[in-house]
Structure 1
Amino acid sequence: MSKRRPGSSLPNWHDDAQAAEGSGVRAAVQRFLLMGLIAMVLVAVPVSLWVRAQSAHNAMANAVLLTHRLADYSIGPLITDAVIDGDPGARRQLDERLAPRIADGSMVRVKVWDTNGTIVYSDLPRLIGQTFPLPSWTFEMLADGKGRATLETQTSPDDRHEADSGELVEVYVPTIASTGETFVLEAYFNVDGVRQEQNSALLGLIPAFLLALGALQLAQLVPAVQLARRIQKHQSTKRKLLQHAIDASDLERQRIARDLHDEVIQDLAGLSYALEAEEMHSSPENRPLFSQAKAILQKNVRTLRAMTTELYPPDLEELGLPEALARLTAPLLEQGIQVKLTVPPNCDLDRDRSAMFYRVAREVLANTVKHARASTLELTLMQDDDCTILLIHDNGCGFDLSADPPDNHLGLRIMRDTVYVAGGSLEVRSWAGRGTSVMATLDRAAPVRSR
């Protein structure tokens, strides 16, 4: 048991409390920033997916527009009767027109279909003249004049030569030949253009989006810090008020105990001596009356002295917490309650932590005597490098924790407030007919106010 020597400095509770409050503000700000970061991620991910989808849609629309231009200005005017009849010389102009696009890799394949599904021209000559089924929406496309584009791996029978190219942008648009006939132009583009447009959109939008979210987060940080500090200030004020109330209660207990000891008990003790003297000099028939009055008076004096001991706890610095707890169990033994006390003899606690555990034990043991109707009680004090635990269990009648306490029975609330002021926690469990357990826990590093 650690003791403070005369003249030694007391623990600076105010500094400890301020440090704890500052740590609480930092923890609150860190939680705010972490939640903000999580929110940014949760918002940024779907936004990124949406941007990618929109940019892919725009890239596909651009591919359709490019293919329309290719059909209207490059391919359509060069589709002549000779091309339709399969004249190799007539196809040379189309090959030369499309060669640069095929060479730079932007365009992978070109096919021109008639409405019967026959390929009348392709940059791959072996496909010319082959017939395959057209997509079901081909005639709808020819009617409305709008192209169609898809991004997928090619698996159709007419696409076996492009199957190894991976994903391709496949575009269908109508085109008018020089003969006035309507044909279908099918063009395959490399997917790199779509990916590049997606990446450009992401790189252009996401940084600005994240910057806006970050600015919003920083703008909210200042009021969040102020709010956390106000909350900490209110909690600090509440702790101080609660501590003052406990201090006032202790001072009032001491005053009442001192008045009882110095006045009432002394007067009653003097009256007891006077009755004893009167008993010795009274007549034999009056002596039993004086003896009975003296016994009642002495019993009341013992009761009052026990009350003063309960009101004014022993000096924990001189006595030590183990011995103080042992003395608290004496009234239980007088009531016939078996007590099992397990307390380490070398308990390393300062006076303030010892006082906190003593108050809890005093309240629990008083309730056990008055209300529990218990036959056994176990009181255990455990200590390690991290915390100190006081565990008290009786086998009494128990009570309903959910019920409101009767008037003037605020012991449980007082215990909770006492432990809370010390920076600890209190857990109470009770079972009807099977007793009650109370566990008070105090971290070794928790700041406790010294008095």
Structure 2
Amino acid sequence: MRRILVRSDGAAPETAAPLADWPVAPPPVADRSEVRAAVQRFLLTGLVVLLIAAVPATWWIRAVAEEHAVEHVLRVTQRLANYAVAPLITDDLLVGDPAATAQLDTRLRPWLTDGTIRRIKIWDESGTIVYSDEHELIGQNYGPPSWDEDLVAQGDGVAAIEHQQEAENSRESGAGRLVEVYVGFVPAGGEQLVFEAYYDDSIVRDEQHSVLMGMAPAFLLTLALFQLAQLAPAVGLARRIQDHRTARAQLLQHAVDAAELERVRVARDLHDDVIQDLAGLSYSLEAQEMVADVPEQRSALGRSRTILQGSLRTLRGITTALYSPDLMTLGLPKALSRLADPLAQRGIDTSVQIGPAVFLTPEQEGMFLKVAREAFANISKHAHASTVSLRLGVEHGATVLTISDDGTGFDDSRGSPEGHLGMRIMRDIADAAGAALEVRSQPGVGTTVLATLPHDAVTSRF
């Protein structure tokens, strides 16, 4: 029994030509858009790599610039302590004499008024402030000093960039991040002191910006030139890959065309020579059977004629399998139905369904017809199926041919069964048309063949 459901626009064209005589379109020439897409992917990847490399490089440059700025501030502070402040540290200043304090105020005012320094403190070894531009702090003791113990002994300066939250910094707590610098110095009186200065962190940010702007262009230009230097080889490689794919598609198409022509030749030779001769021999045996006088001879001739007619039917079936239906005359729905006729004649329940949204070029219809022919041939020879269904429709933008049977099946994890050349032929036919072929099968469950033609392969032909 056979069921057929075809699309509403499946009427056959008036002109007719055998499938083997069609002019088969060569595989599409290397599409420039594919090379362009490959180059775009290369450039995008290069941009991502550039960004990935630039981010840690930027942080490294900022860290180097910060270290450089802090070292510069330390040197400036040390010179200020040694040459501007140390000569004015007198015993009067240490005991809080207003005149000595005013003299030091005058000396330090230029650094304070231009915003270079936000606050100045001078400490003795016990942690007492002996001078500050904020006079209220003079004489205050905040316990053990917070600077490094070796600062006074060795004269090493220390610096930190942070928010000021200590008790001594109540007047600086709202100023945000400041650069806090301690340097040791020895005034003329011989008592070792510590000079503390607070700088706005803009001095570090400006230095970071200056170094970054000085190094970043050269760094980015180097990476960009490196990327451009690889662009030409990348374009050449993409073109060679595309040329290789095109050549492979052409070779596959030539192999499919050659196999199709050979099928037609074999089918024509069988039909015109062997089948006609055997048909004539069958008629001759029938005539001899009718005039034979001896019953044994007539019985032998009848058995021979029966065997010969069975062989003729087998050869006609082989010829039908080799020679595809006339697609141009019948149209794809009827041609697929014609392929299913031999299965239906053997009592196999067959179903052919074609969706109304299927629109294909003649070459693509021919591809699906050839895949169906090979699938039906495999079912006829190996499947021992009782039900076969064929569906051709659009799924997720792709045109999909699905052929399923409930036959014996095989273990698809081990590949195609040995000797099943049809599977390889179907894959070559699908590859030549830009389609993908998938075979799913399990022993005792059956086999499903799916040929999927992507949306871009369908639309690129119109």
TM-score tier after normalising by the smaller chain length: over 0.9
Q: 1:105 aligns with which of 102, 105, 115?
A: 115
Contact 2:159 2:179 in 1 (8 A): yes
Distance of aligned partners of 1:396 and 1:280 in 2 relative to their CA distance in 1, 3 Å threshold: closer
Could you tell me how far 1:132 is from its partner in structure 2? Answer: 1.1
Q: State the partner residue of 1:433.
A: 444
Out of 260-269 and 320-329, give the one that drifted further.
320-329
Q: State the partner residue of 1:349.
A: 360
Equivalent residue runs for 1:80-99 within 5 Å: 80-99=90-109
Give ranges in structure 1 of 5+ residues lacking alignment. Answer: none
For 1:26-76, what per-residue CA distance to the aligned partner results, in whole angstroms no more than 9, with x for missing partners? 111111000000000000011001111110111111111111011100111
For 1:322-351, what per-residue CA distance to the aligned partner results, in whole angstroms no more than 9, with x for missing partners? 111112222322443322221247853332
Q: State the partner residue of 2:5.
A: none
User: Which amino acid letter does the alignment assign opposite residue 181 of structure 1?
Assistant: E
Contact 2:180 2:197 in 1 (8 A): yes
Q: 2:204 aligns with which of 186, 194, 202?
A: 194
For 1:273-306, what per-residue CA distance to the aligned partner results, in whole angstroms no more than 9, with x for missing partners? 1001101110141212111111111111111011
Could you tell me how far 1:209 is from its partner in structure 2? Answer: 0.9
Q: Report the 3-state secondary structure (helix = DSSP H, G, I; strand = E; otherwise coil) of the residue aligned with 1:65.
A: helix
How big is the alpha-carbon RMSD for the aligned residues of Structure 1 and Structure 2?
2.4
Q: State the partner residue of 2:401.
A: 390
TM-score, normalised by the number of residues in structure 1: 0.93
Q: State the partner residue of 2:303.
A: 292
Give ranges in structure 2 of 5+ residues lacking alignment. Answer: 1-9
Q: State the partner residue of 1:278.
A: 288
Distance of aligned partners of 1:71 and 1:439 in 2 relative to their CA distance in 1, 3 Å threshold: same
Q: State the partner residue of 2:420.
A: 409
Contact 1:60 1:149 in 2 (8 A): yes
Out of 236-245 and 388-397, give the one that drifted further.
388-397
Q: 2:72 aligns with which of 44, 62, 72?
A: 62
Q: State the partner residue of 2:323.
A: 312
Once residues 268 and 355 of structure 1 are traced to their aligned partners in structure 2, the CA distance between those partners, rounded to angstroms, is 32
Contact 1:326 1:341 in 2 (8 A): yes
Q: State the partner residue of 2:193.
A: 183
Could you tell me how far 1:204 is from its partner in structure 2? Answer: 1.1
- Identical aligned residues as a percent: 49
2:453 is the alignment partner of 1:442: yes
2:386 is the alignment partner of 1:375: yes
Aligned residues between the structures:
446
Contact 2:388 2:405 in 1 (8 A): yes
Could you tell me how far 1:426 is from its partner in structure 2? Answer: 1.9
Q: State the partner residue of 1:17.
A: 28
Contact 1:176 1:183 in 2 (8 A): yes
Q: Report the 3-state secondary structure (helix = DSSP H, G, I; strand = E; otherwise coil) of the residue aligned with 1:398.
A: coil
Distance of aligned partners of 1:449 and 1:416 in 2 relative to their CA distance in 1, 3 Å threshold: farther
User: Which amino acid letter does the alignment assign opposite residue 416 of structure 1?
Assistant: R
Distance of aligned partners of 1:46 and 1:293 in 2 relative to their CA distance in 1, 3 Å threshold: same
Once residues 163 and 329 of structure 1 are traced to their aligned partners in structure 2, the CA distance between those partners, rounded to angstroms, is 90
TM-score, normalised by the number of residues in structure 2: 0.91
Contact 1:421 1:448 in 2 (8 A): no
Contact 1:13 1:447 in 2 (8 A): no
Contact 2:24 2:363 in 1 (8 A): no
Once residues 397 and 274 of structure 1 are traced to their aligned partners in structure 2, the CA distance between those partners, rounded to angstroms, is 41
For 1:253-291, what per-residue CA distance to the aligned partner results, in whole angstroms no more than 9, with x for missing partners? 011011101110011001001001101110141212111
Distance of aligned partners of 1:437 and 1:407 in 2 relative to their CA distance in 1, 3 Å threshold: closer
Once residues 355 and 309 of structure 1 are traced to their aligned partners in structure 2, the CA distance between those partners, rounded to angstroms, is 16
For 1:152-193, what per-residue CA distance to the aligned partner results, in whole angstroms no more than 9, with x for missing partners? 100111111100000000001101122011001111001111
User: Which amino acid letter does the alignment assign opposite residue 86 of structure 2?
Assistant: G
User: Which amino acid letter does the alignment assign opposite residue 445 of structure 2?
Assistant: R
Higher relative contact order (CA 8 A, sep 6+): 2
Once residues 406 and 353 of structure 2 are traced to their aligned partners in structure 1, the CA distance between those partners, rounded to angstroms, is 17
